[in-house]
A and B are shown apart, each in its own frame.
Chain A
Amino acid sequence: MMLTPLASLRTGLEVQLDARSRDWLHRALAEAADAPRAPGPGAAAGLPPWERHFATAGRHCAPAPGAAPADAAALTDTARVLLLHAAGPDAEALTRLYGHGSAAERRAVLLALPHLDPPPETSAALALVEDALRSNDTELITAALGSYAAAHLDAHQWRHGVLKCLFTGVPLSSVAELEGRARGDGELARMLSDYARERTAAGREVPADLHHALKLTEDPRTERP
């Protein structure tokens, strides 16, 4: 879903929201677009209006009656991603929104990373991804391993992210560009094999996903030198 261009994301969201929620979305996006990118020291005290919308999105995104049964949390995620895109927060604001955010707000910041224009400062964005990968919240882990991590996370952290999915039960199908990054990755193969041995030694089942990932690493056609 997150690779869909933002315009389609917005259209997809609007058709699923009821009329009142749609009005809120339009107002909130307009206020976000008007927000200064990096409020100066003279900015009014308290939260900018768009950040209030960001925090309260969960109670403003009600599905339209008769719409296809939608996951309310997914609607809210999309609304928050659109708000972040419209406001274009700088690295400091992005870090604050994540740090001060509920689990759902943190998830939205992670999901928004590949969509921000201009793109976020890489080291600041990766710090958020790494923070989420240290957590044990599977929804944060899933959101952290989206296309931003696929493009920017270093090999060591990315491999640990994959292993963490296996540990916490996050399906590897949710790891962005798994195939491309795993292919020919001998170190990932070693880590997966070691984990499989550990599970087997303990008399525990080896996750089916592990075999799948292992197969991807063994693809001989593109073996790295």
Chain B
Amino acid sequence: MRIFDPHIHMTSRTTDDYSAMYEAGVRALVEPSFWLGQPRTSPASFFDYFDSLLGWEPFRAAQHGIAHHCTLALNPKEANDPRCTPVLDALPRYLLKDNVVAVGEVGYDSMTPAEDTALAAQLQLALDHDLPALVHTPHRDKAAGLTRTLDVLRSSGLPPERVVLDHLNETTLGAATDSGCWLGFSIYPDTKMDTDRMIRILRVHGTERVLVNSAADWGRSDPLKTRHVGDAMLAAGFTDDDVDQVLWRNPVAFYGQSGRLRPGIPAPTAADAAATHEGNSILRGGE
């Protein structure tokens, strides 16, 4: 089973995690920029963080046989701190970088005017840089937050197929599906989505446009949740090809729209290749 985790915060994880992920089949991942638990108080802290996502973390991942890409943005929570908002002015030079495959995580946290401004500005940056967008849906007041997010997306001009709505659950799945955006599910031990509920959603919705991620970070989370979903899918009667679509081809197709996914991602095993239609060539994304 080859796995592409489309949302995981490796900065907060250990080398043991990297080893366990490789053992579980993870060969590629995307690390979105987000907040670090401890609030930042200046743009310079963001720049060091972005530099790490473009330098040190890909190096760490490569040492464990895992290809690392990232998404960059000013996250919704810290968009509310005027000391941090100058990050928006520096984002254009960062969004040029070869390893940046989307703008993200953008979206709402508390649905404030400052978050409105940051979201609209960064969706425009996605358009300007021909990048997809990773949109975080809020944890509190989620359904209303999604409605407001979809309004902003519609007026942004960013096509829905270039957007993934993340952290979805049963209450937001319908509206998210109708929007035409990609559907992201974060599998967590206690909160967000869990493995059994994910299987039920896949049974009803199918495997199209679905991205499953661990969103593992500094909180209680598990970087092997992607593998757990793959195993649960097989146990529930999904085929190897279904699993490969959800855990590999879908994230490759979504982030491949950036044209920046590297063909350097480790080649799949023979068994993986047999389960795909296009083999590793799809990693070339837009080329």
Contacts and interface: CB of A to CB of B under 8 A. Distances in A.
Nearest to A57: B98
B264 A72 contact: yes
A55 B129 CA distance: 13
B55 interface: yes
Chain A interface size band reads: 20 to 34
B218 interface: no
Interface stretch (A98-106, A109-117, A206-214): A98-106
A53 to B, nearest CB: 10
Contact of A104 (B96, B98, B260): B98
B97 interface: yes
Contacts of B264: 72-73
B93 interface: yes
B98 A106 contact: no
Contact of A102 (B92, B99, B287): B99
A103 B98 contact: no
A61 to B, nearest CB: 10
B259 A47 contact: no
Given A62-B287, A72-B264, A137-B59, A56 B96 contact: yes
A57 B287 CA distance: 15
Given A59-B259, A72-B263, A137 B96 contact: no
Interface string B254-267: 00000110111000
A99 B263 CA distance: 26
A186 to B, nearest CB: 34
B59 to A, nearest CB: 5
A55 B56 contact: no
Nearest to B259: A59
A57 B97 CA distance: 9
Contact of A55 (B55, B58, B96, B259): B96
A55 B287 contact: no
Nearest to A55: B96
Contact of A139 (B54, B59, B96, B98): B59
Interface string B40-71: 00000000000100111011000000000000
Chain B interface size band reads: 10 to 19
A139 B264 CA distance: 16
Contact of A137 (B56, B98, B259, B287): B56
Interface in B63-110: 92-93, 96-99
Contacts of B51: 102
A137 B178 CA distance: 45
A171 interface: no
Nearest to B258: A59
A137 B55 contact: yes
Contacts of A27: none
Interface in A102-142: 102-104, 106, 135-139
A103 B96 contact: no
Q: Which interface residue of A46, A55, A72 has the most chain B CB atoms within 10 A?
A: A55
Contacts of A102: 51, 54-55, 97-99
Contacts of B59: 103, 137-139
Given A47-B93, A58-B98, A102-B55, 17 more contacts: A47-B96, A52-B96, A55-B96, A55-B97, A56-B96, A58-B99, A58-B260, A58-B262, A59-B260, A100-B93, A102-B54, A102-B97, A103-B56, A103-B59, A135-B56, A137-B55, A139-B59
22 contacts: A47-B93, A47-B96, A52-B96, A55-B93, A55-B96, A55-B98, A58-B260, A58-B262, A59-B259, A59-B260, A72-B264, A73-B264, A100-B93, A102-B51, A102-B54, A102-B97, A102-B98, A102-B99, A103-B55, A106-B55, A136-B56, A137-B56
List the 8 closest pairs (A to B, CB-CB), nearest first.
A58-B98, A103-B55, A102-B54, A55-B96, A137-B59, A102-B97, A59-B260, A59-B98
